[in-house]
Structure 1
Amino acid sequence: MRRPVRFLAVLLALLTWGLTLLGHGSALAVRAQNTGTGTELRGVWLTANDMPVLRDRQRMTEAVSQLATLQFNTLYPVVWNGAIAYYPSQVVQERQLQTFTYLGLQGQDVLGELIAEGKRQGLLVIPWFEFGFMAPKDSVLARRHPDWLTRKQDGGMTSISAAGEVAWLNPFRPEVQQLITDLVVEVVGRYGADGIQFDDHMSLPKDFGYDPFTLALYRKETGRAAPANPADGAWVKWRADKITAFMERLTKEVRRVRPGAVISVSPNYYAFAYKLQLQDWLAWVRRGLVDELLVQIYRPDLEDYLPHLGRAEVIEARAKIPTAIAIMSGQRNRPAPLPLLGEKVRANRSQGLGVAFFYFESLWNLGPESPEQRKAELGRWFAAPAPRRTAAAPSPQPAPPPPRRLPAPPPPLPSLPSASG
């Protein structure tokens, strides 16, 4: 009897959304005006899997042109993945955290050319700081600075993620915060990007924080030892508040360097993000630290997907800033059919929510339908243009002073092989 009940529940939800659309054809526009955006967020992530396209100048230009033709308005290209900068970063070179310069097949600066092409085609380009505080356990960064890594109560230093077994940089250490700040400022300042995006890895799994540095800091500030239970409410809040405080400082620095830059956040749904990842993104929204929100809801069916659209925190965010629900457009071993994607897009719109697809390659190349069919359907979904306003051009005034730096680190260790070696 389970399957008929599920079918009826999904059918009822779809009928409700359909009636909303028929009876309130202007609902999307009204809600967009209420957020002060006046447009619908239509984004796509450009991941490490998409680098064969991005690193080839002609293929990149064709891809951006195709997305512009299909009326997308925002690109989120990866710039920090696996403790590797996907652009010629002076920060990682100076700190000897990367032994190569990331360039395109024609020797070009991939990020610089993508930003320029996006601007030419009228799309916002908001680089995606994918790994956040996460780092592969065998990366140059993790090996060079093992004291920067945090621990579980049993001394374990890794967790299992979609990227495999990873370690976590301690978000409470000043040295870690300085590295993240320098990388982010480099992207938005040097490249003039339209903003920066953080996702569910700008966080810390709740089981971490039992390293000597964090335990001593907690005792100093609270007068108590850290609870043995990693889910203890006060212990969760203290760590989440620390991450929020860093996000506030980071946001101010980005806005100082690049006025008008979009601070974009793409977290998991709130209860999961806060309780399990110490990521209090609702506090970030309420404090004005976030300019747009894309909640990751990668559910394979409508029954599990639809309830997230009406969550109280999503409604609250939607009233303040451009808000979207992120959709999985497919994976190599799990293609997403067009009818399902279409139902999700329509459901988002009925609630005044934008949409972002994870990820570019699966938009039309990994689906059960042909690429031509999928492009044609995307064109029908986004037939009307939805231009977004780009960040203000850099001021012609003298460049602002560089961010305040911490005391110089100790002398570097001997050269290490690259993480990919």
Structure 2
Amino acid sequence: MKTAFLSALLSLSAVAAAQTPPATPAPTPIPQGAPVELRGLWVDAFGPGIKTPAEVDRLVADARAMNVNVLFAQVGRRGDCYCLKAAMPPTDDPAVPPGFDPLAYLIEKAHPLGLQVHAWIITTAIWNSTTPPKSPAHAFNAHGPDRAGRDNWILGKFDGTVKAGSDWLLDPGHPDAAEYIRNMYVSVVQNYDVDGIQFDRVRYPDFNPVGGPNSWGYNETALARFRAETGATGTPAPEDPAWAGWRRTQVTNLVRDTALAVKAVRPDVSVNAATITYGAGPTTDEGFALTRTYNEVLQDWLTWVREGYLDLNVMMNYKRDFVPEQAGWFNTWAAYAAGLRVRSPGVFQVSGSSIYLNDQRSILSQVRKTRGLGIGWAGYSYRTPDADVNAGKRTAAEVLPELTAKLAGPGGPFATPVRWVRPNPSALRALRGTLATTGTAPLGGRTVRLLDESGEEVARTTTNGVGGYGFLHVPDRAVRVEVGGVTGEVVTAPAGKVTDLPALTVP
């Protein structure tokens, strides 16, 4: 009886073993000697991706199978963090197990495979629910729409609206909000071995006429700054060119100041931005000022590239390849980026593709176009890997293996694994400083010129709301700063660091 029982048990075990699928092989690291080429994948936090250990394990295995090498992982959604050690409080997302640190675990699993992790944080969005955040330290609780005076950091619209769609946002022209935003990114770099940080929605919001003007930026503290710095009176109209230029500069200064602060902590961390490419693209740098990017959302990423504020410019070149007009837009923006790669070789260009809007044939078409131009590629997003998934017709689990086989299988554009590398710290040569004043004139909005020993101007910038300024493209020779006829001491910026200058006192 005992023997018969054992025989039956062994037979059942054999059947079960035959029915059990073979274990998925562990992903192998990207070879150290592989060619260098950026292939990115955005991993958003509006669905599965990084919220549990199992999701992270699946993500890194899928990314390696696809032969991508950079994960733009959304760790900051709206004033929160999918991490435990940052200036923002941990997310209230119930999908994250208590005590779990998604960012730390993602880095732990990704780095041994040669996958980079870039901390993607929405720059200005702060909250979107009628239920307030749990943490009293959350910026919405401390500086939301119910606060008065300078304590209110919320962006407003010309018509009095204080929400862009469903979101409350921070005003880049408010000095305290700008400082808070900068610290969000810096705190992540201080506490995690991220390979990069990525700005997203680092601009003024949508919900404007096509082509502009932009109707946002009417926080009272920001308006008071504009009046004090420019001498304007009253409330400027959205189309006022001085007001548009001032707001555009606030975003640019925010990118500059954050880049300097990040590089001061870790010069090898990549600073990058997901940038806007609405509609038709430019064919010349002069034409950039005519784009919807520049006028409709007041984002001057051309300056960020020229001045070296970014290491990567990751264009959100979201176009449907099967729609001829949009395919033309995609091609123009990608070609423009390829030209910028030559004119500003210190900043690498990436054409982000909306894989969620395209069928798989169109996805491969855009990959091949991008690689043919010698620039990087990134796909949005891991959660919605093609148009069928976005439309709810199929699941990501069904589509990902198909797309992976087409991208990384024999004959695919990603058939050979490649690697990406962090910025070379020795290429960094940066200066930053702050103005002080003996008078009552505002410190913000001052023009700061960088001069060489002969007095020739080599760069210029504008101070932020508290008199801060900086340069990330400093030549390897003696220079000095000049503000309104007052000059600072002569300095030669050393390579590999951000050098802080003594405060410069101006009238």
Shorter-chain TM-score: what band? 0.7 to 0.9
| Deviation beyond 6 Å, 4+ runs, structure 1 | none
Q: 2:140 aligns with which of 129, 132, 142?
A: 142
Residues in 2 aligned to 1:349 and 1:85: alpha-carbon distance in whole angstroms: 33
Is 2:265 the counterpart of 1:246?
no
- Mark the structure with the bigger radius of gyration: 2
Structure 2 unaligned blocks of 5 or more: 1-34, 134-138, 146-151, 206-213, 278-287, 426-464, 467-507
Is 2:117 the counterpart of 1:125?
yes
Q: Aligned residue for 2:458?
A: none
Is 2:148 the counterpart of 1:157?
no
* TM alignment of 1:15-414, pairs within 5 A: 39-50=36-47, 52-93=48-89, 104-105=96-97, 107-129=99-121, 131-137=122-128, 138=130, 139-140=132-133, 141-145=139-143, 146=145, 147-160=152-165, 165-199=166-200, 201-205=201-205, 206-225=214-233, 228-269=236-277, 271-302=291-322, 303=324, 304-311=326-333, 313-319=336-342, 320=345, 321-330=347-356, 336-363=358-385, 366=389, 370-379=399-408, 380-390=412-422
What letter is aligned with 1:214? Answer: A
In percent, how many aligned pairs have the same letter? Answer: 26
Residues in 1 aligned to 2:414 and 2:297: alpha-carbon distance in whole angstroms: 34
What letter is aligned with 2:123? Answer: G
Q: Is the 8 A contact 1:309 1:325 kept in 2?
A: no
Aligned in 2, Cα 1:90/1:245: closer, same or farther, shift over 3 Å? closer
Residues in 1 aligned to 2:402 and 2:81: alpha-carbon distance in whole angstroms: 35
What letter is aligned with 1:337? Answer: D
Aligned in 2, Cα 1:90/1:127: closer, same or farther, shift over 3 Å? closer
Q: Is the 8 A contact 1:153 1:210 kept in 2?
A: yes
Aligned in 2, Cα 1:212/1:316: closer, same or farther, shift over 3 Å? same
The structure, 1 or 2, with the larger RCO (C-alpha pairs under 8 Å, 6+ apart) is 1
Q: Is the 8 A contact 1:329 1:362 kept in 2?
A: yes
Residues in 1 aligned to 2:159 and 2:55: alpha-carbon distance in whole angstroms: 48
Residues in 2 aligned to 1:107 and 1:289: alpha-carbon distance in whole angstroms: 35
What letter is aligned with 1:153? Answer: F
Residues in 2 aligned to 1:99 and 1:63: alpha-carbon distance in whole angstroms: 20
Q: Is the 8 A contact 2:86 2:188 kept in 1?
A: no
Q: Is the 8 A contact 2:338 2:374 kept in 1?
A: no
Q: Is the 8 A contact 2:85 2:191 kept in 1?
A: no
What letter is aligned with 1:116? Answer: E
Instruction: Tell me the secondary structure at the aligned position of residue 125 of structure 1.
Output: strand
Aligned in 2, Cα 1:314/1:90: closer, same or farther, shift over 3 Å? closer
CA offset at residue 357 of structure 1?
0.6
What letter is aligned with 2:270? Answer: V
Aligned in 2, Cα 1:293/1:392: closer, same or farther, shift over 3 Å? closer
Deviations 1:163-203 (A, max 9, x none): xx21221112222122112211111121021110012x111
Deviations 1:356-386 (A, max 9, x none): 1111022379286744322210212201222
Aligned in 2, Cα 1:278/1:73: closer, same or farther, shift over 3 Å? same
Q: TM-score, normalised by structure 1?
A: 0.74
Q: Aligned residue for 2:477?
A: none
Residues in 1 aligned to 2:86 and 2:63: alpha-carbon distance in whole angstroms: 31
Residues in 1 aligned to 2:86 and 2:273: alpha-carbon distance in whole angstroms: 25
What letter is aligned with 1:381? Answer: P
